[in-house]
Every structure is written in C-alpha cells, then in structure tokens.
Structure 1
Amino acid sequence: MFQRVPSRSSRTSPLRTRAAVLAAGLGVSVALGAGVATAADATSASSAATAVQAQAAAQAKAAKTAKTAKTAQAVKAAAKKAAVAKKAASWVDPVKKYTLSAKFNQAGSRWQSTHSGQDFAVPSGTPVAAAHGGTVVKAGPNGAGDGPAYGNAIVIKHANGTYSQYAHLSRIDVQVGQVVGTGQHIALSGSTGNSTGPHLHFEIRTTPNYGSAIDPVAFLHAKGVTV
C-alpha cells in the first residue's frame, strides 16, 4: 500500500503567505501615504494662492482709497483757491443790515448841488468794509482832503481804475498806502461832518477826488451786488 506524499509545489509556506500579506499591506500604506501627501500639498498651495489674492485685493483697495483721498483733497484745494479768487474779484456791500436813505443825484438843501453818493442808514459804530480790494489813497478828517462836509473819510483805489469813498465815519482803522481786501474791515460808521444822523455815505468815483462820482448803486448792481 502506497502513501501519497503531497508535492512541494502544492504546499504554501505560512511564512511566505505572511510575507506576501505584509508586502501587500505595505504597498497600500505607501500608496495611501502618497495620496495623503499629495492632497496636503494641494491644500497648502490653494491656501497660499488664496492668501496672495487676498493681499493683492487689500493692496488694490488701499491704493484706490489713497487715490480717492488725494483726489478729494485736490478738489477741495481747487475749490478753496477758486473761492478766494472769486472773493478777490467780487464786490460787496460796505455795511450789513442797512436801510437806503439819500440816493445818488438826489436834490435838496443839504447839498450844494445834488447828492454825490448813496447813504446807508446804520447805527453809529457799525463796522464798515471795503467794497472791493485795493489800496487806501486817502484817510483822515476833513473828508480826507475833500472838504469838511464829509467828516472823517476814506478813499480806496481799485485795480479796475475806479475808487470807492466812505464818509461820516466815527473811526478810521486804515492808513494811506495800506492794501485791503474785499470785505475787509476799514472803519466804523458815524455822523461826522455835514450829517443829520448816523449813516455811511458811499461813493464810486472815476478819480480819487470829489466831483467824479457815478451812481454807486447802479455800479454795484453791475457787479452782481444786490443793494
């Protein structure tokens, strides 16, 4: 009777089987580790790209804000410069809150011929302003040289070849040769000279002297001043 002996090829060594399983497991681990590493790298790259984009957006926004602020500042500066230029070129009323009384060329016993200016009825001590920028060419009592009827008076020469006169003043706050701006304080109103009550006598002249006056209200109207 023969005993069957298993062939060597049909038998599987437990040790070999275990080695194969371990090898397979190691391959899976290596493959899984590579996949995890690849995913981590991709996530890191995406986060970096997002950070760069956010930084670029922030820088662009900051640059835009700075540009807007600079533009606004330039516009504001230009507007201020234009306002100053406009004020320098404009004319204004010599006093505020007044009542018009005796008018230009008005006849009456108070004047040798006719009234040479426009009277602004205001309380004594009312601030008087230069109707336009210019240079003071006359300032003092006795009408600043035009006669005692004017009392204390001032005459200002303007760049356009005209002159403005302010009379019956209680106080003079400028001197001859002084340059004044449009609307600048020059005196206080009063009732000096030939005056029946406190008011400002205002003239527009073609020369600095008496006798060259023109209608001051019509002149101011032409300059855009509502009198």
Structure 2
Amino acid sequence: MSKRTQPHRPGTSMLRKRAAVVAAGFGVSALLGTGAAVADSADATALPGIASSSVEAQATAQAKAADNAAKAKKEAEAKAKEAEAKKKAAEEKKAKSWIDPVKHYELSAGYSQGGSMWASGHHSGQDFAVSTGTNVMAAHSGTVVKAGGNGAGDGAAYGNAIVIKHGNGTYSQYAHLSKIDVKVGQQVTTGQHIALSGDTGNSSGPHLHFEIRTTADYGSAVNPVSFLKKAGVSV
C-alpha cells in the first residue's frame, strides 16, 4: 500500500515566521518604552537635587565674596591706621627736630667774632648771608615772645626782630628782618614761615642774624652753630 504524502504548503511556514518577528518587535518596543519611562522618571527625580546643588554653590560663592570684601575692608582700614600713625610720628619727629632758619645761604660773621661793628666788641650770633626777602622759618616749634622793631626790645642795632621760646627752655632770635609775619603769643611749628630776611638795623648788607639764647633777652646767647650741630643740623 503506497504511503500518502501530506501536501506541502510553503506559505504557511512563512506566515508563522513573520508572525514571530512581529511579536518580537512588539516586545522590544514595549521594553524600550518601559526603559524610556524609567529614564524619564529618573531624570525627574534628579532635578530637585541639581537645583539644590546650584543654590548651595551660589550661596557659597556669595559667602566667599562677602568674606573677601570684609577682609579687604579690614586691610584697607589697617593700612589707613598705619599711614596715620606714620604721619603722626613724622609730625612729632619734626616738632622735636631743629632746622636751619633759612635755605640756600652762606655763613658770614660767626658767633663771638670780634669787631667794632658790635657794641659789646663781639658778635652775639651767626649771620646767614641771603638776599632780602628770603623766607625765614622757625628753627624749632615754640611760642613767639617778642616781635617788632627796635630789635623787639633788644635795641635798634637788631632792626626788626623776633624771639621764640621753645619747650626745652631755649630761645631763638631772628634779626635784621624786612617783614615780620607773626605776633607775640602765636604758636609756631618747626619750619613754619615767620618772616622775610632784610637789611634793617646795624647791618652791613642783607642777611639773617640768628641767635640761640638761654633767656628771651640780649646777653644770654650761646654758640648757635654748635647748638644746631648737636641737634643734628648740618650747618
């Protein structure tokens, strides 16, 4: 008896394969969709953390800027105080110091120099040869105790004169002036303008007659050049 063979239907096998592929495709799409949803969910969860980090970073930056500003302010204040202290120290040093009463001079008649020009037979101060109108300065800080013509009371030979009393009990005198620019009782500082040099009184030419005294009056003079050199002035 011959065997019956089943008729072959190639179309059926192909349809099954196609169905399987389509099904698989749906599965992959579903899987991918799920993954995307999970990813979206993760991103949404991460957003609050990112925002928080940004706020914290901004706050940190602001705090640092504030600290830097405060530090800069303190440094500026410290520098200002230091500068003020240096200025004050310089002023105090200047007040304690002595200077030449004029600038750009030549020394002429010296202290105790003999001659018939002087009533006592000798010179009571140091002459600084300068032209008329030269700025005359206080050699040291103090109080004006004499100022005027006739040697401010010390005699006509001095012409217009000024006497300043200093804190250490020393007096300085400035004579033969063409102009006096201070008054009795006035406080003056080292280097302050007090007069203009001249040729008044018993004078052989324009110059400043300068004395250092132990009292305000004539007759108490000491060597002014030696005094100034001891005070650190290069005469």
TM-score (norm 1): 0.85
Amino acid aligned to 1:70: E
Corresponding residue of 1:4: none
When structure 1 is superposed on structure 2, of 80-89 and 98-107 the one drifting more is 80-89
Corresponding residue of 1:45: 52
Identity %: 61
Q: 1:101 aligns with which of 105, 108, 123?
A: 108
Q: How many residues align?
A: 212
Partners in 2 of 1:96 and 1:149 — Cα distance? Answer: 24
When structure 1 is superposed on structure 2, of 19-28 and 65-74 the one drifting more is 19-28
Corresponding residue of 1:173: 181
Amino acid aligned to 2:175: A
Structure 1 residue matching 2:112: 3-state secondary structure: coil
Partners in 1 of 2:45 and 2:226 — Cα distance? Answer: 90
Corresponding residue of 1:62: 69
Corresponding residue of 1:198: 206
Partners in 2 of 1:97 and 1:21 — Cα distance? Answer: 106
TM-score (norm 2): 0.82
Partners in 1 of 2:211 and 2:74 — Cα distance? Answer: 51
Amino acid aligned to 2:68: K
Partners in 2 of 1:32 and 1:179 — Cα distance? Answer: 89
User: How far is the alpha carbon of 1:24 from its aligned partner?
Assistant: 5.6
When structure 1 is superposed on structure 2, of 216-225 and 26-35 the one drifting more is 26-35
User: Rg: which structure is higher?
Assistant: 2
Amino acid aligned to 2:218: Y
Structure 2 residue matching 1:109: 3-state secondary structure: coil
Structure 2, unmatched stretches of 5+, are 1-23
Matched, 1:187 2:195: yes
Matched, 1:91 2:98: yes
Matched, 1:150 2:158: yes
1:109-148 map, 5 Å: 109-111=116-118, 112-148=120-156
| Runs of 4+ deviating beyond 6 Å | 19-23
User: How far is the alpha carbon of 1:178 from its aligned partner?
Assistant: 1.6
Root mean square deviation of aligned Cα? 2.3
Amino acid aligned to 1:170: S
User: How far is the alpha carbon of 1:30 from its aligned partner?
Assistant: 4.0
Partners in 1 of 2:170 and 2:96 — Cα distance? Answer: 14
User: How far is the alpha carbon of 1:140 from its aligned partner?
Assistant: 1.4
Structure 2 residue matching 1:192: 3-state secondary structure: coil
Partners in 1 of 2:174 and 2:28 — Cα distance? Answer: 117
Amino acid aligned to 1:197: G
User: How far is the alpha carbon of 1:28 from its aligned partner?
Assistant: 3.3
User: How far is the alpha carbon of 1:175 from its aligned partner?
Assistant: 1.7
